[in-house]
Each structure stands twice: as structure tokens, then as C-alpha cells.
């Protein structure tokens, strides 16, 4: 994969996906949507923890990625909302 990306970058500018949070907000997800079955009994609220959606709502995340690819993106990413925060974020207490 790294080799492919490097080769493409030598040929042209690559397009990265865009406002993932905005795309997620269009789905108007509620607390239960963020929890799914896997986190149904979690001890704190999880609404807004977009990283969890790859586990609890994979079809939504897949659909958003497909939309970006159809629009011409070369690269899509996920689980990067809290990449700059410690794993045990105070907001979600070590989800």
C-alpha cells in the first residue's frame, strides 16, 4: 500500500476525504445509535464519539466512504476524530 501511495504521489496530487463529522451529522444519530449492541450497557453516554461508529454503525461509515470515493477522493480515513487526544479521553472515559 505504501508503495502504491508513493507512486501515485509522484504522479499527481491525491485527494483526501472531507468533512466526515458533517457527513455523520446528516444521519441525526441518537445515543442508542452510537452504542449499538456492543456498548448497550456502557456506563456513560457515548453520543458524539464518532470513532465508535466504525464498530456500531459500520454501514453508515462505509456509505460515507463510498460517497467520497464516488466524488473522486483517492484516500478515505476513519477513527481519526480523537487521534490527537490521549486514548483515555476525559469525555468518554476510556471507551
Query: Backbone phi, then psi, for 6, in 5-degree steps?
Result: -60, -40
- pLDDT tens sequence across 16-32: 988 888 999 999 999 99
**What's the grid cell of residue 39?**
456498548
Q: Three-state SS for 67?
A: helix
Q: According to the model, what pLDDT value does residue 88 have?
A: 44
pLDDT at 1 over 90: no
Closest CA to 29 of 9, 49, 10: 49
Determine what percent of the chain is predicted with pLDDT higher than 90.
64
Q: In the predicted model, what is the mean pLDDT of the chain?
A: 86
Amino acid at each position: 500500500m505504501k508503495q502504491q501511495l508513493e507512486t501515485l504521489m509522484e504522479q499527481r496530487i491525491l485527494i483526501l476525504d472531507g468533512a466526515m463529522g458533517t457527513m455523520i451529522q446528516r444521519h441525526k444519530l441518537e445515543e442508542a445509535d452510537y452504542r449499538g449492541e456492543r456498548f448497550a450497557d456502557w456506563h456513560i453516554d457515548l453520543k458524539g464519539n464518532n470513532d465508535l461508529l466504525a464498530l456500531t454503525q459500520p454501514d453508515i461509515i462505509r456509505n460515507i466512504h463510498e460517497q467520497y470515493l464516488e466524488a473522486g477522493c483517492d484516500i478515505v480515513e476513519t477513527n481519526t476524530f480523537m487521534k490527537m487526544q490521549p486514548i483515555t479521553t476525559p469525555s468518554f472515559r476510556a471507551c
